[in-house]
Structure 1
Amino acid sequence: MKAEKHGNQYRVQKMINGERFNLSFDHKPGKKEIEEAIRNIKNSPQIKGTFEGYANLYIKIKKNVLSPTTTKSYKSLLRNISDDFKHTKMKDMTAALVQSEINQISLRKSPKSTTNNNGLISPKTVSEYHSFISTVIKMYRPDLMLNTTLPAPIKYEPHVPTDAEVKAILDISKGSHYELAFRLGIYALRRSEVCAVTSADLDGNMLTIKKSLIEGEEGYITREKNKTEESTRTIYVDDYVAELLRTQGVGFAGTPDTILETLHKYQDELGIPHFRFHDLRHYYASMAHSLGIPDSYIMAAGGWKTDHVLKTVYRHAQKDKEEDMMKFAALYITEISN
């Protein structure tokens, strides 16, 4: 069996159980590797259906172990894959077909009005399509080796809100039912956590964060247990926030998307840069770091597993804090040099 080179791929054609298969590799395979790929096909159930059929089967058998949000996302991705690709027989699937589909997806216009990719679907979304496609193929066509070229990722430069910007958001939201959501965001809660936390999670000033509001196939549902052990945490909140939560009963009686939409509305009204609700977590990390709080405590309060995010945030430290630190250093230099 000879592997023939086609572009960046090596292909071996083989008749198995009366059907012709194209075994694709991203490198020149050895004899043992080809034989193993053939054994995998022979030991697998006969492949007769289309990619769409196997993708639906994959979602079905994985439903009990996937989160409702992931299941909903997979179904949405499948709906938006081209009909030609969905109707391709799984046995006829090739690495070239996958690359072609990804190329077409990367050229689509984004339905969102704001984008950093010339109006196109973001590289991150293209990567999500490829991850789903490759996962399905890996389960039902383990012989097919993919080496897909994806769009270069766009590096996100976080905007760490300044004290003045945070205060402006708190002032404009004061007295509204959004105020508590933003105050909890400053304590490094995610939007999904803000919408799920209740007064029952409060013991004095200690707030336990263990739930989140997520979007499933039938709408929003409360996930009673966080995805990671680190995300389940207990933090100290100030008296004002604690009293607001007792009075309101819930962090926010609405959806996570509504919080973000309102945040952007306030930013427009105030004339301050747009930043995400998630960037309030960065604000907390930067603020706590500037106060000299050890990273281990910051990580525990925010539910971060590693210090990777914290280091990224510190590199984009709040400008007002940065200037204060530089002035402090200049003052010290002045004192020791005179």
Structure 2
Amino acid sequence: MAAEWAASKEQSSTTAGALKFGEALEDYISSRENILSPCTIRDYRGIQRNYIPSLMDIKIDDIIQDDIQKAINLEAVKLSPKTVRNIHGLISAVLRVYRPSMALNTALPKKKRVELYIPSDAEVKILMNAVQGTELEIPVLLLGIPDVYIMQRGGWGNDGTLKAVYRHALSDKAQEMNKLANEHFEDLLSDGSHESSHKRKKP
């Protein structure tokens, strides 16, 4: 039985190695259509149709690291680092199944550092006033406006509702930073209240 199992495994390995990469990729995706999410399968199909054409006709046993590196380099010219990494992840997953002895050492593009724009206090006030009472008010509040703004707009006297919705997911450090942000925006609200009060008193 052991000899039969070894022979069967060797035969299976030989059969897999004779597959072209494109055939192995198709088998890999098809075998996971009922397991992975439709979104993931859709992404895999997109990679299959649009990228790494140079690998598709190479037999699994004949693929070398240089083939993969060249294919990745070509895609890196026109695609984002994240997309290139996703493509390489699929290549790696296929080879783990059909050629598990091959260890990849591909040089991948570095992730781009995202430059975040931080709005000024004045810009936040303008945004909040612009969306107040519109269908955009709630989505904007959920984008990260501190609690004191959300509570004021929602008419809540405390943050109990907020805690029930999302604060339980924050780490201690995140809560600490959130508190600092709230204190800052409380000052903005106070300034805004004074301004509104001043405007109402005008004849």
TM-score tier after normalising by the smaller chain length: 0.5 to 0.7
The Cα offsets for residues 195-232 of structure 1, whole Å up to 9 and x where unpaired, read as: xxxxxxxxxxxxxxxxxxxxxxxxxxxxxxxxxxxxxx
Q: Name the counterpart of 1:186.
A: 141
Count matched residues.
Answer: 171
Instruction: State the one-letter code of the partner of 2:70.
Output: S
Give, in whole Å, the separation in 2 of the partners of 1:302 and 1:63. Answer: 36
**Alignment partner of 1:44 is 2:13:** yes
1:183/1:161 CA distance change after superposition, 3 Å: farther
Q: Name the counterpart of 1:77.
A: 47
1:289/1:55 CA distance change after superposition, 3 Å: farther
Contact 2:65/2:104 (CA < 8 Å) preserved in 1? yes
Q: CA deviation at 1:169?
A: 4.8
Larger Rg: 2
Give, in whole Å, the separation in 2 of the partners of 1:308 and 1:134. Answer: 37
Give, in whole Å, the separation in 2 of the partners of 1:43 and 1:307. Answer: 49
Give, in whole Å, the separation in 2 of the partners of 1:87 and 1:79. Answer: 14
**Alignment partner of 1:98 is 2:68:** yes
Q: Secondary structure of the residue that 1:128 maps to in structure 2? A: helix
Pairing partner for 1:129 from 77, 87, 107: 87
Contact 2:54/2:71 (CA < 8 Å) preserved in 1? no
1:82/1:130 CA distance change after superposition, 3 Å: closer
Normalized per residue, which structure has more helix? 2
**Alignment partner of 1:62 is 2:17:** no
Contact 2:52/2:72 (CA < 8 Å) preserved in 1? no
Q: CA deviation at 1:124?
A: 1.2
Normalized per residue, which structure has more strand? 1
Give, in whole Å, the separation in 2 of the partners of 1:303 and 1:63. Answer: 35
Give, in whole Å, the separation in 1 of the partners of 2:37 and 2:173. Answer: 24
Contact 1:41/1:143 (CA < 8 Å) preserved in 2? no
1:42/1:288 CA distance change after superposition, 3 Å: farther
Pairing partner for 1:153 from 111, 122, 126: 111
Q: Secondary structure of the residue that 1:44 maps to in structure 2? A: helix
Contact 2:72/2:108 (CA < 8 Å) preserved in 1? yes
Counting only pairs closer than 5 Å after superposition, residues 191-270 of structure 1 correspond to structure 2 as none
Q: CA deviation at 1:158?
A: 3.6
Give, in whole Å, the separation in 1 of the partners of 2:71 and 2:119. Answer: 39
Q: CA deviation at 1:172?
A: 4.9
Q: CA deviation at 1:41?
A: 6.0
Give, in whole Å, the separation in 1 of the partners of 2:114 and 2:46. Answer: 25
Q: Secondary structure of the residue that 1:65 maps to in structure 2? A: coil
Instruction: State the one-letter code of the partner of 1:321.
Output: H
1:49/1:149 CA distance change after superposition, 3 Å: same
Q: Name the counterpart of 2:154.
A: none
Instruction: State the one-letter code of the partner of 2:86.
Output: E
Counting only pairs closer than 5 Å after superposition, residues 277-296 of structure 1 correspond to structure 2 as 280=143, 283-284=144-145, 287-288=146-147
TM-score (norm 1): 0.41
Q: Secondary structure of the residue that 1:52 maps to in structure 2? A: helix
Unaligned runs of 5+ in 2: 1-8, 152-157, 189-203
- After superposing on structure 2, the runs of 4+ consecutive aligned residues of structure 1 that deviate more than 3 Å are 40-43, 157-176, 288-294, 306-311
Contact 1:99/1:148 (CA < 8 Å) preserved in 2? yes
